Structure 1
Amino acid sequence: MKKDENIGRRKERGNVVGDGRSIDFLGYCFTPTNIRIRKSIKQTFARKAKRITDEKRRREVLASYWGWCKWGHCRNLWNKLTNNDMSFADIGVSGRVTTKDGQQFFDVKKIKIDSILNLPIKVEKFQTDVKTQHGNGRHVVLIEYNGEKCKFITNSFTLKNMLDQAAKIENAFPISTVIKKRDIGGKFPDYYFE
């Protein structure tokens, strides 16, 4: 009879789900079909979300609990306690637009220059002196190709020179053009805008 009493107590506390017990590990309660944050963490979160009035500190606290909620299936809990206060879209924050060293970042798909040879493209803008795994001084060029924005990285002296010249002309971008390839001997070919 003592064994049945223990099972009854576990059911009251919510530890028995489905065919077996949940596993309490690293702040989460795992079941075969669900992941929830631990009850004590949820209660602390609710108290802090209600009590903190300083806006900067509140954002910091909510950010730490967002980490807990996003890995558990806790979206409803998050919305209930914060009124979805950390939704970046709601406060007008988008993905990164600059790199660590302050250069413009084009958050689009990267393509190889060979895949757009002899095809019509529209050069929107570019970033100079970009450091990549292959070296410094590259240009990242944002283009529109087949109605989709994408980018390519180049170290071609001719392409870089043509882009730099176009940048000095007022209202030069966007430019509709075609990239051509010419063999100059040696290991690497040269590219140019037609």
Structure 2
Amino acid sequence: MKDEPSLKEIGERLERLDAPIRMWREARDRAFAAAFGPKQGKLSNLMARLPQAANAAAALGLGPRDEAFAAFDEICDLYARSDPARCAIIRGVVHEHEARGLLEDYIGYASRILKQGGRPEWLERGIAAASIDDQRRDYRDWLMALGDLYLSARAARLDPTPVLKRMAERSNPERHAASPTPTREALAKFEDSAHFMTSILPQLR
């Protein structure tokens, strides 16, 4: 059985990814800006240039994403086995590093694996990643990613409810400026949320 990674090892692993992720992201930003051109003009013209700019950024590939995702596999597994106090430390370690910006992509990755018939552990990993992310970037994107994961789980005949409740207990109980609701509450009450009622529930009928 593989030894459980220590918090120090997690931090060191993420630190090694800081520079590669930063360089990759900056290169993508430059490619996008160069392809998009001047930001002045009619909104319709600006919107028309978005696909070309997005393709230019995507042409740079996935960069160190796979390495970051491999790290998240271990981190999320550890998170799911940890008590709330240790989970708070894990969140703190992750948010010190550039990989934090890939957590939302990782939730989508877990969702796609579930949709393709992946093992149930991917549901737990995805919700653990949502808990670690803590709605720090955009809570609306966070809700959408969580909703997609929920739908993928249901399509795979898995019940997300117990996992949502379990991960809620490990989540941040405090609200911060980027989110209207603490992540602990957002996960625990996800199935009662307005987003769930309007965007998720209709797809389950």
Task: Tell me the TM-score normalised to structure 2 length.
Answer: 0.24
Who wins on radius of gyration, i.e. which is larger? 1
Q: Which has the higher helix share?
A: 2
Q: Which has the higher strand share?
A: 1
Higher relative contact order (CA 8 A, sep 6+): 2
Task: Tell me the TM-score normalised to structure 1 length.
Answer: 0.25
